[in-house]
Structure 1
Amino acid sequence: MTTTVPPLPLLLWLQEVVFLMLIRVRRTILQTAFVLCVLILLLWISIFLYGSFYYSYIPTVRYTTPVHYHFRTDCTSPGQDLCSFPMANISLIKNGRDRVLMYGQPYRISLELEMPESPVNQELGMFMVSIMCYTKGGQIISSSTRSAMLHYRSRALRLMDTFFYAGLLLTGFLEQKQMVEVELYSDYREDSYVPTLGALIEIQNKRIQIYAAQLKIHAHFTGLRYLLYNFPITTAIIGVATNFSFLSVIVLFSYLQWVWGSVWSRENIRMRVNLQEGDNVQLQGEESQNTTAASFQQVGKETLETIGTITGSGTSEASEENEAQEECSLLSAVNFCAISSLETDVKTLVPSTVSTSQPIVLKEEEVLPVSNIPQTELRQRGVVQTVHN
């Protein structure tokens, strides 16, 4: 009975492939989750920045506060209901700390009076309403006075109106009254050095009858504030998108700087610079050596030409001098070159009776060091530059 052995290499290969795929999938999921978290964080920061800007840049659009008048009734003269004009003190600070008016922003300030259509108010005619804005210490910084009156309605019109709305009037859904709005300021601007803390409102009539009164402040927007207030959704999308793009660019550059900083660290850059400087120094050394060798060859040629002209030696001697000069150019020992030059001079100065085939032996005292040779003689022999080097 035979048993089949499973192909172990194939199973190992499949296991390795599955393991690698799991690692890649895990890495992809982690990278995707990280990118999503960064994008959500950037979006939240963009919304927060736009909301903060909108809250700080857009002032209070509408502000309405009730006006409670006070007056005196202890007058001594008979026939007068009121002894003084109705007056109210209005504070323009919200919650005891926030100012209603913003610096440089134009405002429209008006007073709305709820007046009954009573015979007294109908006979009242025109009346004056004044406002005085004050700052710290009660100092008046601005004042304005406007006139107002009830809208005229004839007796026949009032009768028809009463007959037509009799049911509503009887049930209390309608009242016979008028809303009179008095514009006190059409373009009031807050001064940053003298802020407005409150206002005094006075009705200059002692017989007027009022149900209620309200002070209304409405801001007039221009430019960017006009767009932000009248097109809030469009400006919000543009603002959030702009903040998101700006923050994304900052994060992208930070990531690239981090990646490049790990690849191009200071140690790697310093090592590369040092290697480049070493190569430059080596090239300069090779160039200097080549220049020195060329100068030695040039000096040797000039020396041989000078010695040949003075001594008038033959072709054989010139060849020997050329060989000696080549040896001088290849060898760096200065004494050897000097000794060779001296031997050549001795050969040229020996009388004709002496056989040139015999070698000339110099005694130790006759071989002088190069440093003891006079400069004029060295200059004639063309070895001055070699001695200094």
Structure 2
Amino acid sequence: MDTGTEPMGTGGHHESGDPVGPALLWLWDTVTMVTLQARQRVLQGALLLCALGLLLWTAIFLYGSFYYSYMPLATYSTPVHYYYRTDCDSSASLLCSFPTANVSLLRNGKNQVMTYGQPYRISLELEMPESPANQELGMFMVKMFCYSRQGQTVTSSARSTMLRYRSGLLQTLGTLFLIPFFLSGTADQKQLVEVELFSEYREDSYAPSIGAIIEIQSQRVQIYSANLYIHAHFTGIRYFLYNFPTLSAVMGVASNLSFLSVLLLFSYLRLIWGRFINPQKVRDRIHLHQRLAGMDESEDTELLQDNQDDTTGIENSSSDALLEAHQITATHLNQKEESILKAGGGGMDIRHGRFQSEIDEEEIIAEEEVENMVMSVDPELEGSSETAKQPDSIPSTLTGTSTCVIS
């Protein structure tokens, strides 16, 4: 009894432990698959982020290059340093010559400041003290000459200007109100006088300006400093790029990014399709179809030639049969005529009628035989039955001949 119970206990233990192994294997396979999928997803995400970063950087670089090459310099300023002669005998309030300055219109001595075809506004800003000499000066002229590399004068302009008028009371009140600033040195009794020399200056592409000479046509003028300003008047796309830089940058980068994404997508699809579609196999199939089409055309041509040969042979055989039938009919009629001529004599009129009826019957029989022969040769040549009716002329001729002979 004990030995009988042990195997049962052992068997029950194995039955209860069997499901553990497959469950662990299934769990291990599931964990491994999930891990592999997670690694694959992480790798794909990293590659996607790298591709997007590269595309974004390329789009920004393209927009920056376009902006730098397309947009000219918006504002350019340079100090103007005047010089004048001092080798003359004059009073302290007069200069020996007009103050003159030579200004370069090149950046770093190499690049042009102004772009061809772009309109510019050129103005001169003078910092002048509110001295009695300047107040008594009144109006004075400012003249500007632009010259090229060959030293030729490209264009010139002359404008008049003066200090703004301020009454004595207004000057006294302003001095009293601003006296702390004047005493501390943070403010000065001066005016900024702006002179517009060119409202819409356009650079000549054949003779670009490399410098300008600015002259103040007064020997009593007093100035602290002077600056030359060049402002560009933008229109169209340049106006949008300059006045809305953030919006234009976002739109430009987005358009470049979309274009590069579409280009990359087409390249990827072409690569994927190239794996499934072998160009060599496609070429082989095209050549095979061309060969089959050429063979079909040659077979059709051969069959057409065979049909034409068969038709020609059938027509020749039918014409031969017709000629043979005509010859048999003519021979038979000649034999009849000879037998009648040999018989001669008195029953000529009676025999003539019988002979005529026999000839008509034989003509009908000959025509039927010829039509049957033609129809039996080729059913498709039904039009040749009209040709088979030509023996009508031959028996009629023979009949007329026989009649003449009998008569």
The TM-score, its normalising length taken from structure 2, stands at: 0.68
CA shift, 1:280, in A, is: 5.0
* Alpha-carbon distance in structure 2 between the residues aligned to 1:101 and 1:266: 55
Partner of 1:174: 187
Q: Deviations over 1:91-117 (max 9, x none)?
A: 111112222111111111111111111
Partner of 2:245: 232
Q: Is the 8 A contact 1:150 1:180 kept in 2?
A: yes
Residue 86 to residue 289, structure 1, CA distance change in 2 (3 Å): closer
Partner of 1:60: 73
CA shift, 1:125, in A, is: 0.7
Aligned counterpart for 1:153 among listed residues 166, 183, 206: 166
Partner of 2:363: none
Q: Deviations over 1:257-290 (max 9, x none)?
A: 2222222222121232345456657767987899
The residue type paired with residue 49 of structure 1 is L
Task: Confirm whether residue 97 of structure 1 aligns to residue 110 of structure 2.
Answer: yes
Partner of 2:267: 254
Q: Deviations over 1:61-108 (max 9, x none)?
A: 111111111111120345654101111110111112222111111111
Q: Deviations over 1:351-372 (max 9, x none)?
A: xxxxxxxxxxxxxxxxxxxxxx
* Alpha-carbon distance in structure 2 between the residues aligned to 1:265 and 1:157: 93
Residue 58 to residue 282, structure 1, CA distance change in 2 (3 Å): closer
* Alpha-carbon distance in structure 2 between the residues aligned to 1:110 and 1:49: 35
Aligned counterpart for 1:141 among listed residues 154, 157, 161: 154
Q: How many residues align?
A: 313
- Secondary structure, counterpart of 1:96 in structure 2: coil
Partner of 1:42: 55
The residue type paired with residue 151 of structure 1 is R
The residue type paired with residue 180 of structure 1 is V
Q: Is the 8 A contact 1:134 1:196 kept in 2?
A: yes
The residue type paired with residue 100 of structure 2 is M
The residue type paired with residue 114 of structure 2 is L
* Alpha-carbon distance in structure 2 between the residues aligned to 1:136 and 1:291: 86
The residue type paired with residue 97 of structure 1 is K
CA shift, 1:297, in A, is: 9.8
The structure having more radius of gyration, on CA atoms, is 2
* Alpha-carbon distance in structure 1 between the residues aligned to 2:136 and 2:220: 10
CA shift, 1:293, in A, is: 9.9
Q: Is the 8 A contact 1:82 1:206 kept in 2?
A: yes
The structure that is helix-richer by fraction is: 2
Q: Is the 8 A contact 1:73 1:81 kept in 2?
A: no
* Alpha-carbon distance in structure 1 between the residues aligned to 2:202 and 2:301: 82
Partner of 1:333: none
* Alpha-carbon distance in structure 1 between the residues aligned to 2:23 and 2:299: 61
* Alpha-carbon distance in structure 1 between the residues aligned to 2:261 and 2:285: 33
Percent pairwise identity: 52
* Alpha-carbon distance in structure 2 between the residues aligned to 1:250 and 1:90: 50
The TM-score, its normalising length taken from structure 1, stands at: 0.71
* Alpha-carbon distance in structure 2 between the residues aligned to 1:292 and 1:71: 110
Residue 289 to residue 58, structure 1, CA distance change in 2 (3 Å): closer
CA shift, 1:174, in A, is: 1.6
Residue 248 to residue 181, structure 1, CA distance change in 2 (3 Å): same
Question: Any stretches of 5+ residues in structure 1 without a counterpart?
Answer: 312-380, 383-389
Aligned counterpart for 1:121 among listed residues 124, 134, 141: 134
Residue 60 to residue 303, structure 1, CA distance change in 2 (3 Å): closer
Q: Is the 8 A contact 1:103 1:191 kept in 2?
A: yes
* Alpha-carbon distance in structure 1 between the residues aligned to 2:179 and 2:164: 21
Residue 15 to residue 70, structure 1, CA distance change in 2 (3 Å): same
Partner of 2:145: 132
Residue 149 to residue 295, structure 1, CA distance change in 2 (3 Å): closer
